[in-house]
């Protein structure tokens, strides 16, 4: 039986005590047969080394080792190798109820070394305690909470400092790429990582791509990191363009990313026709569909995003606007939940 002492974070469990000079040999054998419990620390005193065994160890194998090394299995105290509470509540004890915590947990985002939380109005007075707990729990540098919804043309939100170091600039790592950004002045969502990787997989070498709403360059840089494509990243937010330039320098790219500051309506005529257009502005991308379709080469692909409750309306909107041009839906997917019953849909559609 394993006795947990939560305060000292150590447990009494089955282990082997062995004289130091033979310890390495035994440890190698235990690791090879997956019998060493790696959640707890091997420790030693002047003469002996103590090794924790997995709960359901292989008795036959262990008995053979006991004979060979002339040792015994007994109960010893072991400390947790890396105590990382899986539950935020471990740091809040009785300060906040489990239901309240669940609300916060759902909103938890980590961007680089910054944690961003949502705090419901009824928990405003406990925000500092929650911030400190999040800091300890995540071991990140700073904790902020969402002071507003994502708003305005730049799709940014106000963040209020809660704990740690008050510095909003950070570098977020994703699939070997580094994105520098300030989450209060530019849009960035770590929850779109899978979507970015899906688009990267769709892209063929040599494509000419326009990202209509490129932000800090999350899609263009993800693509250019592994594909020899030429991507024009347009954004109306000068801060986003500044970070796109930084991110081009921060990453080793095989393709080319060209940042362009401006309203896509005003810059589109200066850009070449594209093999692919990316439109991740799900609330209002539909207003730009016509110029996108007109700017696609024959057989080009549109990566179109829209908030909707059903995927048929998303497809129909694009098909209707494509008019006589033949369309082929390559894929339609729920990228993430937006609100109850409403999804952030991603449509990949080929337009002849």
Ligand X SMILES: C[S@@+](CC[C@H](N)C(=O)[O-])C[C@H]1O[C@@H](n2cnc3c(N)ncnc32)[C@H](O)[C@@H]1O
- Nearest distance from residue 190's CB to ligand X, in Å? 10
Closest CA relative to residue 174, chosen from 218, 204, 217 = 218
| 207 vs 239, beta carbon nearer ligand X | 239
Residue of the chain from 280, 308, 327, 348 that contacts ligand X (CB under 6 A): 280
Residues 166-225 that bind ligand X (CB under 6 A): 187-188, 192, 213-215, 218-219
Candidate segments 84-92, 105-113, 149-157, 343-351, binder of ligand X by CB under 6 A: 149-157
Please give the sequence-ordered ranges of beta strands (E in DSSP) within 170-288, or none if there are none.
170-174, 177-181, 208-211, 230-235, 256-261, 274-279
> Under rule CB under 6 A, how many of the chain's residues touch ligand X?
20
- Nearest distance from residue 236's CB to ligand X, in Å? 4
Candidate segments 64-72, 94-102, 134-142, 151-159, binder of ligand X by CB under 6 A: 151-159
Check residue 40 for interaction with ligand X (CB under 6 A): no
Check residue 264 for interaction with ligand X (CB under 6 A): yes
Long-range contacts of 167-172 (CB under 8 A, 24+ apart): 167/141, 167/142, 168/114, 168/142, 168/144, 170/111, 170/112, 170/113, 170/114, 170/141, 170/142, 171/112, 171/113, 171/250, 172/111, 172/112
Dist CA 66 CA 77 (whole Å): 20
CA dihedral 70, 72, 73, 75 (to 10 degrees): -140
| 50 vs 288, beta carbon nearer ligand X | 288
Dist CA 337 CA 258 (whole Å): 31
Check residue 349 for interaction with ligand X (CB under 6 A): no
Candidate segments 46-54, 77-85, 153-161, 246-254, binder of ligand X by CB under 6 A: 153-161
Residues that bind ligand X (CB under 6 A): 153-155, 187-188, 192, 213-215, 218-219, 234-237, 240, 263-264, 280-281
């Amino acid at each position: 039986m394993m006795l947990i002492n939560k305060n000292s974070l150590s447990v009494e469990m089955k282990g082997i005590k062995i004289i130091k000079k033979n310890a390495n040999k035994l440890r190698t054998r235990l690791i090879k047969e997956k019998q060493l419990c790696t959640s707890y620390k091997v420790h030693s005193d002047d003469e002996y080394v103590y090794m924790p065994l997995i709960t359901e160890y292989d008795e036959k194998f262990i008995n053979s080792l006991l004979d060979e090394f002339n040792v015994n299995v007994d109960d010893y105290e072991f400390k947790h190798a890396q105590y990382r509470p899986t539950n935020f509540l471990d740091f809040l004890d009785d300060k906040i109820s489990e239901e309240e915590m669940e609300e916060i947990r759902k909103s938890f985002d980590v961007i680089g070394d910054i944690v961003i939380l949502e705090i419901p109005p009824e928990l405003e007075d406990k925000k500092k305690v929650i911030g400190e707990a999040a800091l300890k729990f995540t071991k990140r540098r700073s904790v902020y909470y969402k002071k507003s919804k994502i708003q305005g043309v730049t799709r940014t939100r106000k963040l209020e400092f809660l704990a740690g170091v008050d510095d909003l600039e950070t570098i977020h790592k994703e699939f070997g790429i580094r994105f520098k950004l300030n989450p209060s002045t530019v849009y960035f969502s770590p929850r779109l990582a899978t979507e970015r990787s899906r688009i990267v997989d769709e892209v063929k070498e040599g494509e000419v791509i326009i990202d209509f709403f490129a932000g800090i360059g999350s899609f263009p840089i993800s693509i250019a990191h592994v594909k020899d494509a030429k991507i024009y990243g347009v954004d109306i937010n000068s801060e986003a363009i500044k970070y796109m330039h930084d991110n081009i320098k921060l990453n080793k790219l095989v393709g080319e990313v060209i940042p362009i500051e401006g309203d896509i309506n005003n810059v589109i005529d200066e850009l070449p026709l594209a093999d692919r257009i990316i439109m991740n502005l799900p609330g209002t991308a539909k207003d730009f569909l016509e110029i996108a379709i007109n700017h696609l080469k024959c057989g080009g692909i549109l990566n179109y995003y829209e908030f909707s409750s059903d995927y048929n309306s998303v497809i129909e909107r694009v098909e209707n606007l494509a008019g006589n041009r033949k369309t082929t839906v390559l894929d339609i997917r729920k990228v993430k939940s937006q609100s109850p019953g409403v999804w952030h849909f991603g449509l990949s559609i080929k337009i002849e």
